[in-house]
Amino acid sequence: MMLEYGLVQVYTGNGKGKTTASLGLALRAVGRGMRVCMIQFIKGGGPYGEHMAAAKFSPLLTIHQTGRDTWLFRDNLDPEDVRIARESLDLGRQVLTGGAYDLVILDEINGAAWFGLISADDILALISRKPPQVELVLTGRNADSRVIDAADLVTEMVEVKHYYQQGVQARIGIEK
């Protein structure tokens, strides 16, 4: 199924649920026979539950996990993290413009830009190259104001309360 027209969505903010919201959209699209590709920036480790689900929804849902399983620090970036993010950006460009997918999700791309692994200009260039029938979703905290301005829909997840503050770690099937 091809979309009549695609828009640009941004899910940002410090609250939980940005990736989960984009996966809900992916599930809805796959249910309608659409082809979906998610590229996860700065998400090493895993596997996460969504990777196992993608295998069950293949070939309609594809997820590329990128990044190392380590913490990032804005003031001390490892060149390897920059290299991986640039490769992920190149993959995102190919997937977005290649014609194989109806919905492209670039998960944590806003965070990758905030950390300085890529630039907001890189994201804006992707938006400008988006084919008319492709829906593009950009997730991650700290979305640049120019990316927000360029989007058609922006949702900000706001943390009101989080069980992490009580020492609850990421749980399999919920956060992983």
Residue 154 belongs to some domain of the structure: yes
> What total of structural domains would you count in the chain?
1
Report if residue 43 sits inside a domain.
yes
Q: Residue 3 domain-assigned?
A: no
CA distances from 174 to 47, 56, 132 (A): 13, 18, 34
Please report, for the domain that includes residue 116, its CATH number.
3.40.50.300
**For the segment 73-123, what is each residue's pLDDT rounded down to a tens digit?**
888 889 999 999 999 999 999 999 999 999 999 999 999 999 999 999 999
Cα–Cα distances in angstroms (integers) from residue 173 to residues 2, 52, 57, 134, 170, in the given order: 31, 11, 17, 29, 9
- Domain region containing 135: 8-166
Does residue 13 lie in a domain region?
yes
pTM: 0.93
Cα 95 to chain center, whole Å?
Answer: 13
Please check whether residue 107 lies inside any domain of the structure.
Answer: yes
Residue 152 domain-assigned (yes or no)? yes
Q: Judge whether 35 lies within some domain.
A: yes
Tens digit of each residue's pLDDT (9 = 90 or more) over 6-53: 999 999 999 999 999 999 999 999 999 999 999 999 988 878 899 999
